[in-house]
Amino acid sequence: MNWIDIGHIDDIPERGARLVKTHAGCVAVFRTASDEVFAASDRCPHKGGPLSEGIVHGNKVTCPLHNWVFSLETGEAQGADEGVIATYPIRVDGGRLFLDITELAARSAA
């Protein structure tokens, strides 16, 4: 594990997201109404919509371009749509957000 401090949970609006730029592409960091935090690829597999700009409801996000809905827990598209977004380990410690960049770093190396 390679945890990097990327900011404070309060930097993300409730039921919203912020972006983290990485060598492996943009990662969206989501905060739900119950203050759970998830990290996933910002790119919708459908037409590349920015998921960090989607509406966050429950533990799901809706892509702003064509309303694909993804589970933030599994990364899987919901309903009739088929697709999956990469999800990344993230934890909250004393309000600080730590993103595990092991996989992200591995990807950039590949």
Partner 1 sequence: MTEKLVVIGAGMASGRMLEHLFDANPDAYDVTLFNAEPRGNYNRLMLSPVLSGDKTYDEIVTHGDDWYAANGVTCRFGERVLRIDRERKVVVGEKGEVAYDKLVFGTGSNPFIIPLPGHDLDGVIPYRDLEDTEAMMQLGDKPGAKAVVIGGGLLGLEAAAGMAARGVDVTVVHIMGHLMERQLDEAAGYLLRKSLTDKGITVLCQANSKEIVGKNGRVKALMLDDGTELPCDLLVMAVGIRPNIALAQDTGLATGKGIHVDDQMVTSDPSIFALGECVEHNGAIFGLVAPLYDQAKVLAKTLMGEPATFVNKEVSTKLKVTGCDLFSAGDFAEAANREDIVFRDPARGVYKRLVLEGNRIVGAVMYGDTGDGAWFYNHIKDGTDVAEMRDTLIFGPAFQGGATADPLAAVAALPDDAEICGCNGVCKGTIVQAIEGGAGDLAAVRATTKASNSCGTCTGLVEQVLAATLGDDFQMPTAQPICGCSDHTHEDVRRLIKSQELKSQPAVWQELGWKTVNGCHVCRPAVNFYLLADWPLDYMDDPQSRFVNERNHANIQKDGTYSVMPRMWGGMTDANELRAIADAADKYGAVVKVTGGQRIDLLGVKKEDLPAIWRDLNAAGMVSGHAYSKGLRTVKTCVGSEWCRFGTQDSTGLGIKLEKLLWGSWTPHKVKLGVSGCPRNCAEATCKDVGVVCVDSGYQISVAGAAGMEVKETEALVAVKTEDEVLEWVTAFIQLYRERAKYLDRPYRWVAKVGLDWVKDTLADAGTRADLVERFEISQSVYRTDPWAAEVAKSERYAPLANLMLEAAE
The smaller minimum CB distance to partner 1, of residues 60 and 84, is found at 60
Looking at beta carbons only, is 16 or 89 nearer to partner 1?
Answer: 16
Residue type, 56: V
Q: How far is the CB of 84 from partner 1 (least distance, A)?
A: 19
Question: Which has the closest alpha carbon to 104: 25, 9, 10?
Answer: 25
Contact 70, 60 (CB under 8 A): yes
Q: Which of 40, 72, 85, 104 touches partner 1 (CB under 8 A)?
A: 104
Q: Which residues, listed in sequence order, are joined to residue 43 by a DSSP beta bridge?
A: 50
Q: Where are the alpha helices (DSSP H) in the chain?
A: 102-109
Residues forming the site for partner 1 (CB under 8 A): 4, 6-7, 11-16, 18-23, 26, 29, 33-34, 47-50, 53-58, 60, 62, 64-65, 67, 69, 99, 101, 104-105
